[in-house]
Amino acid sequence: MSEDRKNKKDKAGEAGEAAVPRHIAIILDGNGRWAKKRGLPRTAGHAVGSENFRKIALYCRDIGVDYLTVYAFSTENWKRPETEVNTIMKLLEKYLHEAIDTMERDRMRMQVFGDVSGLSPRLQELVKQTNEIASRFEGFTANICLNYGGRDEIVRAAGKYAADLVAGRAEGELSEELFSSYLDSAGTPDPDLIIRPGGEVRISNFLLWQGAYSELYFSDVLWPDFGTSELDKAIAEFNNRNRRYGNVG
């Protein structure tokens, strides 16, 4: 458990307050509509959405969340107009560059989930450097899902397991735990809370395996406007839920 989380949990215990979820995952949705409402190009919405990611990630770190996972670019998002895809890729490059320079100082680990082989060589190199720096220390972790799809992740995991099995590197008895270790999220606990701002009520191929028992929270607020008070509301609702994991209450 991170020091931040321990402090927050201790304080929450003293004050009788609810604790924060260990792992929050967010589908970043509504950037385009946010921009359109203001007469701006969709790409302007992505720029503001990226800044909001930074703000929410720092907030999560400060309130004692251990993991934040965001859905930034799906395996299906390549169908968007080329200029929009290019803008999103440039923003991702910018934030990964920044992460490489500051993540150790800011105690914020950044990792990328998704099929990295489909990214540009420049982004692949940045992802490699980011993941390498993240492996050097512990603490709050922000995972960015990039060229990510839940089904694609499961298929890639099955392929990696099959290759290990054929090569004699894996046990023949496949368990849920063993399979999880082949996913991009290996080593990360499942999300407790999945948030989707932007008004749509669907999961859109996000963390299909890991979200089996996650609490879901949907909000009409568009992602660029989804600030810390909106996150507080989601956490408060999470704390009122009764998680039964198939058991009785």
Report, in angstroms and rounded to the nearest whole number, the Rg of the chain calculated over CA atoms. Answer: 18
CA contacts within 13 A on the Cβ side of 245: 2
Please pick, from the candidates 108, 119, 144, 234, the single residue that binds ligand FPP as defined by CB under 6 A. Answer: 144
| Closest distance to ligand FPP from the beta carbon of 148 (Å) | 11
Q: Is 72 a binder of ligand FPP (CB under 6 A)?
A: yes
Kindly identify the residues of this chain, within the stretch 215-244, that bind ligand FPP according to CB under 6 A.
none
Beta bridge partners of 69: 25, 143
Please pick, from the candidates 20, 65, 91, 183, the single residue that binds ligand FPP as defined by CB under 6 A. Answer: 91
Provide the pairing of β-strand 193-196 with 141-148: unpaired
Please pick, from the candidates 4, 21, 56, 95, the single residue that binds ligand FPP as defined by CB under 6 A. Answer: 95
CB 49, CB 28: distance < 8 Å: yes
Torsion of CA 116, 119, 125, 130, to 10 degrees: -50
Q: Which residue is nearest to ligand FPP (CB)?
A: 32
What whole-number distance in Å separates Cα of residue 94 and Cα of residue 126?
10
Please pick, from the candidates 24, 44, 56, 88, the single residue that binds ligand FPP as defined by CB under 6 A. Answer: 88
Say which amino acid occupies 4.
D
Which residue's CB is nearer to ligand FPP, number 20 or number 47? 47
Positions touching ligand FPP (CB under 6 A) are 28-33, 46, 49-50, 53, 70, 72-73, 77, 88, 91-92, 95, 144, 198
